[in-house]
Amino acid sequence: MARTGLKIAGVIVILAGLMLVATAGALYWLFTKAPAIEDKSVLVVKLCGEVPECGTDMLRGGPFGKAPVSMWDIRDVLQKAAADSRIAAVWIWIDYPVIGWAKAEEISEYLDEFRKSKKPAVAYLNAADERSYMIALSCDSIFAPAEAFVEMNGLATQVTHLPGLLEKLGIKVQFERFGKYKSVSGEKYGRKELTEPVREMINSLLDGEFDVLLSRICDRRRMQRDRLIEFLDQGNFWARYSIAAGLVDADKDEIAVEDYLKQKLGVEEKLNIVQAESYREVPREDVGLGGGANRIAVVYSAGMVMQGGGGFNPVFWETEQGSDPVVKALQKCVDDESTKAIVFRVDSPGGGGFGPEIICNKIVEVQKKKPVVASMSDYAASGGYWISMPARKIVAQPSTITGSIGVWGIFPDFTGFNEKLGLTIDVLKRGSRADMLLANRPLDEGERELFRKGILDMYNSFVDGAARFRKMPREKMEEIAQGRSWLGRQAKDNGLVDALGGLDVAIDVAKKEAGIEGPVDLWLPGAKSWYENLAEKFSLAGRETSLAAIGEEVQELERRINAVRIYAADPQRIEIR
């Protein structure tokens, strides 16, 4: 009787599992099936919040959450919209997207390409700054409500230094670096103010970006440069001032923009709106954009590059790109016989530990079989450049922040902090320096020299590798390195990158390197299937919260902090806004 009951229970569990999988599959089909597109439809692309490089989670919608519109999606939907006779216009809705200058340039390029279809593109500014206004400049018309927030007051960057705060907590920082320009982030943690070389570097980046902004506005809006500078110096941040100055075409809210599009397209009743989140599910083959027999893989590295699986970095308060997923994706490319080349898309402000070196070595190995072309997004600096430099060719946007070939490290001394908390620490050791990495006392001169030597060795390895991969004399690379960040166009002049442009330029370069002619099929080896995503959702839902599990997470946190402290990490994130 008991056995019969167990059998029945087992059958019920199996049936429940099958029903769950079937339900998940049905939901996946329901929420990812291609939408029905009517004639004279308007594609709406909303740019708000974070705009990731690629939504590699292939489960787009449903109860498991909808992936945000990514750079990959924006490229895809604008290319399809240009070819799709059912799409009559594009409406770019801008609501203060969190993007860098290189991403803004790339979206602008996609819009410029779309406009070759002779279909109208309209920008609506719900809230915008100079970066997102750069995108709007690629549209036929720019509209905004008069009271909308449109910040047009020039460019600035700021660096908040932490050592003063750390001193109040009783924490002293021993800071070392190699490369006189290394680095904004290093001086944030290691100094109370910027050194002159770093200040010089930031001013160079500001000058370069400001010149691009002025040139683009003057060219697209037919405005005199002196007049534009005078307008920016007024510090205006309401749309009505931009309207009066001719930077925005008219005072229109979203309803008025919809009426404008209806009139322009000859639509009398309701305007057919298609959101980018839905339109991205339309197969490219449906609009005549099918790929060829050859495949090019696009592998992404987004975030600070660290060894392992990746996750949240507690030191720099940002998501890190683990080396493991990148290596796995690259190996998939090697194993796939139809993949003839790889575009390695990098949006990484830095890295630490052995993560960059692991990825660099893997690319060297992969290139023995298939060409790899690096495509740089907003950032490919420090560790981001380290993982890019072995590529056969490097493509960057003019405003990409790259280079920063240098290393810095900080070593904390918690002596004063322990005293403030009333902590007394007994240390028992074997070996005169066995306790040097415990951070409960300052490093002595000999230990400080060991710390410096470790950072110098890493710096020399970085410079040597960059010189070798870029086929440049070491002395010349040393001059360009010095931990200095460059804009993409400066990096090209200095020989750090080969060409300027976005993902499509990198794809063309990869085709040439692989000897491919005609269309290619693009694929994402790092993407998760809906089944993998579903399994991950359930895994997170059942996450253990026992004291033992929490203790393990604390130990992992400590391990990451130690790794950053010992091996030196560098997120070279310079925010110009």
Active site residues: 382
CA angle (285 as vertex; 515, 35 as ends), nearest 5: 145
Helix ranges (H only) for 155-286 are 163-168, 184-190, 196-221, 225-233, 239-245, 254-265, 276-279
Phi, psi for 162 (deg, rounded to 5): -100, -20
Phi, psi for 311 (deg, rounded to 5): 145, -160
SS3 356: helix
SS3 513: helix
Q: How many CB atoms lie within 10 A of CB 389?
A: 23
Residues in the chain: 577
What span, in angstroms and rounded, lies between the C-alpha atoms of 281 and 78? 13
Q: Which residues contact 533 (CB under 8 A, 6 or more apart)?
A: 57, 58, 59, 64
Given phi > 0 = left and psi -120 to 50 = alpha, else beta, which region is 301? Answer: beta
**Cα separation values, 326 from 102, 317, 359, 511, 526, Å:** 22, 21, 7, 21, 7
Place of tokens 């139809």: 338
User: Residue 425 corresponds to which tokens in the numbers above?
Assistant: 């620490």
For the chain, the straight-line distance linking the first and the last C-alpha, in angstroms and rounded, comes to 73
CB 284 within 8 A of CB 291: yes
Cα of 414 vs its chain's centroid, Å: 34
Q: How many CB atoms lie within 10 A of CB 363?
A: 23
